[in-house]
Amino acid sequence: MFDAITDAPAWVRNGRHDIVAMNRLARALYSPVLADPRRPANTTRFVYLDPAARDFFVDWESVANDAAAMLRLEAGRSPQDRLLFELVGELSTRSELFRQRWASHDVRYHRSGRKRLRHPVVGQLDLDYESMELISQPGLTLNVYTAPPDGPAADALAVLASWAATQETADEASAGE
């Protein structure tokens, strides 16, 4: 499926916000999130524990609120998920802001909207997103980001796709040495 989606960043996450799979363009777009060597990469950990998140997410406050609220929703759905509660424990001990937002008991799930990102290579991107639960894989969500055609975000995605291809070629060349 990811091989067929070439002009839009597409990625799959679980309820803990672990990144499970990505296409090339999503890897390029989320390269700041993937900079942390821990795997699986986790977007909520990035939001709360990595200072780069405040630059990457233009609407960081809103993203941080949503991330905590979505984790709380998942905690209600999966009360036996040990890894989820380990993540909540880690975030709670390392981020005062997460503790406050977790304590607010907000619950939220977004299926569509707008993500405003500031990428270190191409600058600001205002992208629309759709989130779809994968019926064949319960607990996984496919996220696809799109840009209006012929706009600045579409142009930036094209540049990012070119950059990603260049990075991948360089990585393959260094792996073959």
Q: What is the CATH number of the domain that holds 18?
A: 3.30.450.180
How many Å apart are CA 127 and CA 9, to the nearest integer?
10
Q: Is the pLDDT of residue 70 over 90?
A: yes
The β-bridge relationship of strands 141-146 and 112-119 is unpaired
What integer best gives the mean pLDDT of the chain?
A: 91
pLDDT single digits (tens) 97-108: 999 999 987 676
pLDDT of residue 104: 86
DSSP per-residue letters across 46-113:
HHHH-THHHHHBTTHHHHHHHHHHHHHHHHHH-TT-HHHHHHHHHHHHH-HHHHHHHHTT-----SEE
> Number of structural domains, the chain?
1
Do the Cβ atoms of 99 and 49 come closer than 8 Å? no
State which residues form the domain around 27. 2-175
- Which of 52-56, 83-87, 159-163 has the least mean pLDDT? 159-163
Contacts of 55 (CB under 8 A, 6+ apart): 118
| Cα Dmax for the chain | 52
- How distant is the alpha carbon of residue 41 from its chain centre? 9
Share of the chain above pLDDT 90, in %: 79
Structure tokens at 12: 């799959």
